[in-house]
């Protein structure tokens, strides 16, 4: 058996790692994640509960370029779901309204891409996988993505990125994300996975006995309906969305879901208030396994699940990355 090593940057609660480890095991290899980086203490709590004893760098920004060689271990595959707020539609309009910089010019979060780039160029993993919101494709007329690709392509083969949707990969949630893969070996013909179109419906992901506490109050239900009327009049979208258990998929569940559940309220019958999803249900809609531990408050758990990657999609991409590396006969460390 051989070991495939990785590092997990902007790790959140480890969605990318779960997906990679599943693909590694499917191919009969052993996984070894050597390090994760995550600044948020609640994410760290969840990460540690699920992956104890992984070395941590809290704030990747504090890692100086000159320290990368020493502090970042050698690894085969680099994973990074870098912060998406500076590129997301909501994030850009919020930053514009506050007269703040956005995109790569956002010094707090946007330019974190350059930290990833430095690590890639100095440590030279065999492959990397980056994930972000689909809006990155069109942000600043596509110029930011062009710049990102140009910089990555200096040392790596980077095929055109693809937007893949969780609902096409056996998850009952519409969630489009952009994926960027790169290979140190420039003589590559990588292909992204094709949708599986595995049929699922929302109820496949719901708790069998949902707790009463997730039913929204009369006051909140009234205010959702009021806001919807206001939005319709102003031609500003729909407001809340009722999801029926037999629906093929829900809307994208964001990290703001905890506020009022507007993106997805589960229908419970006529004249009954709908209910919010439980945190476990949101993790399920992202493809997290049942055994995944959630040691934090519901508010934190909703944010963590809403920020995570859809595991089914990432697992398929990782599988193709590994398959490709195997056909190239790239050597991995042998387990003693
Ligand atoms: C989009 S989320 C990644 C979610 C992850 N892919 C998952 O499946 O859970 C981005 C993460 O980057 C973290 N982050 C932001 N700035 C950071 C920094 N300077 N150093 C390390 N982590 C950071 C955030 O706390 C957040 O959890």
**Residues 3, 129: Cα–Cα separation, whole Å:** 18
The pTM assigned to this predicted structure is 0.92
Strand ranges in the chain using DSSP code E only, listed in sequence order? 2-9, 30-37, 55-57, 77-80, 127-133, 162-165, 176-183, 242-243, 265-266, 333-334
Over the stretch 38-52, which tens digit does the pLDDT of each residue have? Answer: 999 999 999 999 999
287 lines ligand 1 (CB under 6 A): no
3-class DSSP string for 74-108: CCCEEEECCCCCCCCHHHHHHHHHCCCCCHHHCCC
Atom of ligand 1 nearest to the CA of 18: 8
Centre of ligand 1 from the C-alpha of residue 50, in Å: 16
The overall average pLDDT reported for the chain is 91
Structural domains in the chain plus CATH codes: 2-198+309-334 (3.40.50.150), 202-285 (3.90.120.30)
148 lines ligand 1 (CB under 6 A): no
| Interval 15-20 mean pLDDT | 98
pLDDT at 232: 84
63 lines ligand 1 (CB under 6 A): no
- If one residue of 38, 90, 306 were mutated to test the ligand 1 pocket, choosing by the most ligand atoms within 8 A of its CB, it would be 38
Over the stretch 205-256, which tens digit does the pLDDT of each residue have? Answer: 999 999 999 999 999 999 999 998 988 888 777 789 999 999 999 999 999 9
Where residue 143 falls among pLDDT bands split at 50, 70, 90?
confident
| Interval 278-285 mean pLDDT | 98
Over the stretch 72-109, which tens digit does the pLDDT of each residue have? Answer: 999 999 999 987 665 656 665 665 666 666 656 666 66
Decide if pLDDT at 268 tops 70: yes
59 lines ligand 1 (CB under 6 A): yes
Q: Residue 72: is it exposed, middle or buried by C-beta count within 10 angstroms (0-12/13-18/19+)?
A: buried
Count Cα neighbours of 205 within 13 Å in the Cβ-side half-sphere. 30
39 lines ligand 1 (CB under 6 A): yes
Q: Catalytic residues, which ones? A: 84
Q: Tell me the two tokens of residue 58.
A: 């809290």
pLDDT at 100: 64
Over the stretch 164-213, which tens digit does the pLDDT of each residue have? Answer: 999 999 999 999 999 999 999 887 789 999 999 999 999 999 999 999 99
Atom of ligand 1 nearest to the CA of 62: 19
Atom of ligand 1 nearest to the CA of 79: 6
Decide if pLDDT at 336 tops 50: no
306 lines ligand 1 (CB under 6 A): no
| Interval 316-326 mean pLDDT | 94
pLDDT at 235: 79
Residue with tokens 């949708």: 195
Atom of ligand 1 nearest to the CA of 43: 27
DSSP assignment of 298-334 equals HHHHHHHHHHS--HHHHHHHHHHHHHHHHHTT---EE
């Amino acid at each position: 058996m051989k070991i495939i090593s990785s590092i997990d940057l902007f790790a959140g609660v480890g969605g990318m790692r779960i997906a990679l480890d599943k693909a590694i095991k499917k191919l009969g290899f052993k996984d070894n994640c050597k390090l994760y980086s995550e600044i948020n203490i609640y994410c760290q709590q969840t990460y540690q509960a699920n992956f104890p004893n992984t070395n941590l760098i809290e704030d990747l920004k504090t890692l100086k370029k000159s320290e990368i060689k020493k502090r970042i271990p050698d690894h085969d595959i680099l994973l990074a779901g870098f912060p998406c707020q500076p590129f997301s539609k909501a994030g850009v309009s919020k930053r514009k309204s506050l007269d703040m910089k956005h995109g790569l010019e956002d010094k707090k979060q946007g330019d974190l891409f350059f930290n990833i780039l430095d690590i890639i160029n100095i440590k030279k993993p065999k492959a990397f996988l980056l994930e972000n919101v689909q809006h990155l494709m069109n942000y600043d007329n596509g110029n930011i993505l062009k710049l990102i690709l140009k910089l990555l392509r200096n040392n790596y083969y980077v095929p055109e990125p693809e937007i893949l949707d969780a609902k096409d990969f056996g998850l009952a949630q519409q969630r489009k994300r952009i994926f960027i893969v790169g290979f140190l070996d420039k003589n590559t013909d990588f292909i992204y996975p094709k949708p599986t179109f595995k049929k699922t419906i929302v109820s496949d992901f719901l708790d069998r006995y949902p707790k009463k506490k997730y039913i929204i109050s009369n006051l909140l239900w009234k205010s959702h309906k009021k806001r919807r009327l206001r939005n319709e009049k102003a031609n500003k979208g729909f407001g809340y969305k009722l999801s029926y258990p037999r629906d093929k998929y829900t809307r994208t569940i964001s990290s703001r879901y905890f506020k009022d559940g507007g993106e997805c309220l589960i229908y419970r019958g006529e004249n009954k208030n709908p209910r919010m999803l439980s945190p476990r249900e949101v993790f399920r809609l992202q493809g997290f396994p049942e055994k995944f531990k959630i040691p934090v408050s519901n508010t934190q758990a909703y944010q963590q699940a809403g920020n995570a990657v859809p595991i089914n999609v990432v697992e398929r991409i990782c599988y193709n990355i590994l398959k490709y590396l195997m056909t190239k006969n790239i050597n991995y460390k042998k387990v003693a």
